[in-house]
Structure 1
Amino acid sequence: MSTVTPARLHHLALTVTDLDASVRWYGEIFDVHPLMDIPHKGGLGRILADADRHLMIALHRHEDNDGRLCAETTTGLDHAGFAVGSRADLEQWQDHLEAHGVVRSDQADKPLTQSPIADEPYASVLVFRDQDNIQLELFAPARQ
């Protein structure tokens, strides 16, 4: 039996319709900032990171993007989940998201909406969506 070095997430890469608008939005929401551009065939990727480079997000623009919104019901990304320390942190995130145009709703089912915090047995969860309808989630440990 061979042993491999455990993998860890290096970055999250997302395809967006408007690279500049998404760079601004993800920068405001996650306090990540452009590090470098990565040209690729048919488009451009922009790498964003926080100051310690613990959170890295790559946003990609493809010239042949048809402009449709993301849908987790199709093959590909369902959502990206991020950890926070407590339910109180999620409450602060609700206000932070709202201050950046992510409106509170009964459910996060369209671009720039956020759901109420759901207290599940496994965690407290805040679901929200970016302008391309990509579903993002914040998780806090379950209350004991």
Structure 2
Amino acid sequence: MTGAPPTTGVHHFSPTVSDVEASAGWYARVFDLDRLPGEARHHGDEDGGYAVLLIDRRTGLLIGLHHHHGHHGGPFDERRAGLDHIAWGVRDRADLDAWAGWLDDLGVAHSGVIDKVARSYSAIVFRDPDGIQLELFHRDG
């Protein structure tokens, strides 16, 4: 075999959050997601916590917001080993303007559209209730 076997893209994103219900409401509102019924127990640690599952019915992307009974607390910090950020792609540069308006309407603080002409991309940067950096990203060409 030459090269890695194929994938179909990102299936789900699963951050650990400090308040699973508050985060579920925020992610559902910001990304227009549907909450799946029930809770998903952690694989290999079924008694240690659970995830609330949200789905984007347009793309099939799942977001599993994890609650751990032994959560150590403290704010998210992308400078520690682990997640730095996650970015959602958008089809057109104009979609970023629409997203900026949507985030404004929801009262979600964001960077505004950042155009990096020399690198041929544009993005909006914002953070979830736990401070996890999220991006909306469009690459030209």
Q: TM-score, normalised by structure 1?
A: 0.83
**8 Å contact from structure 2 (residues 56, 62) kept in 1:** yes
**8 Å contact from structure 2 (residues 10, 61) kept in 1:** no
| Equivalent residue, structure 1, for 2:52 | 46
| Equivalent residue, structure 2, for 1:72 | 78
C-alpha RMSD of the superposition: 1.8
Q: Residue type matched to 1:56 in 2?
A: L
1:9 matches 2:10: yes
| Equivalent residue, structure 2, for 1:94 | 100
Identical positions, percent: 40
| Equivalent residue, structure 2, for 1:110 | none
Mapped partners of 2:40, 2:15: distance in 1: 13
How many Å apart are 1:5 and its aligned residue? 3.3
| Equivalent residue, structure 1, for 2:136 | 138
Q: What does 1:17-32 align with in structure 2 at a 5 Å threshold?
A: 17-32=18-33
> Which digits, 9 at most, give the CA deviation of each residue in 1:90-127, with x for residues without a partner?
11111211222212xxxxxxxxxx11221112310111
Runs (4 or more) in structure 1 with deviation over 3 Å come to 1-5
Mapped partners of 1:3, 1:75: distance in 2: 28
Secondary structure of residue in 2 paired with 1:95: helix
Deviates more, 1:85-94 or 1:74-83: 85-94
> Which digits, 9 at most, give the CA deviation of each residue in 1:42-80, with x for residues without a partner?
111111102245221110011121321111111000000
| Equivalent residue, structure 2, for 1:124 | 122
Secondary structure of residue in 1 paired with 2:5: coil
Mapped partners of 1:81, 1:3: distance in 2: 25
* Unaligned ranges ≥5, structure 1: 104-113
* Unaligned ranges ≥5, structure 2: none
Q: 1:15 to 1:141 in 2, by over 3 A?
A: same
How many residue pairs get aligned? The number is 133
| Equivalent residue, structure 2, for 1:108 | none
Deviates more, 1:75-84 or 1:42-51: 42-51
**8 Å contact from structure 1 (residues 16, 61) kept in 2:** yes
Q: Residue type matched to 1:48 in 2?
A: L
Q: 1:71 to 1:34 in 2, by over 3 A?
A: same
